[in-house]
Amino acid sequence: MCRSIKTLRPPITPEVSEEDIRAAALQYVRKVSGFRAPAAHNREVFDQAVDAIAAATQDLLGSLQVRGSASANRQ
């Protein structure tokens, strides 16, 4: 879909920051909407979408269990 969105899943990316997650969410919203930057009248809905996708991404990454990783072995 969008090659500039990097894989954030540990252990591929051991340290994932909120900035990394937000950047991926922004790239996704840009790709889906077709806008690099929204017009003023679309700014709020654009930002809400980025926030929602960033939150969903954080939940996903926090819930994944990766076989062979230390966190998966603890559970």
32 occurs within a structural domain: yes
pTM value surpassing 0.85: no
Q: Tell me how many domains the chain contains.
A: 1
- SS3 at position 10: coil
Which structure tokens are listed for 26? 């922004």
Burial class of residue 22 in the structure, from the number of CB atoms within 10 Å of its CB (0-12 exposed, 13-18 middle, 19+ buried): middle
Which structure tokens are listed for 16? 């994932």
67 occurs within a structural domain: no
73 occurs within a structural domain: no
pLDDT band at 74 (very low <50, low <70, confident <90, very high): very low
Q: Dihedral of the CA atoms 2, 18, 65, 29 (nearest 10)?
A: -30
68 occurs within a structural domain: no
72 occurs within a structural domain: no
Cis peptide leading into 11, omega within 30 of 0? yes
Per-residue pLDDT, 15: 80
70 occurs within a structural domain: no
66 occurs within a structural domain: no
Q: What is the pLDDT of residues 26-56, one digit of tens each?
A: 999 999 999 999 999 999 999 999 999 999 9
Residue 43 sits in which domain range?
Answer: 1-61
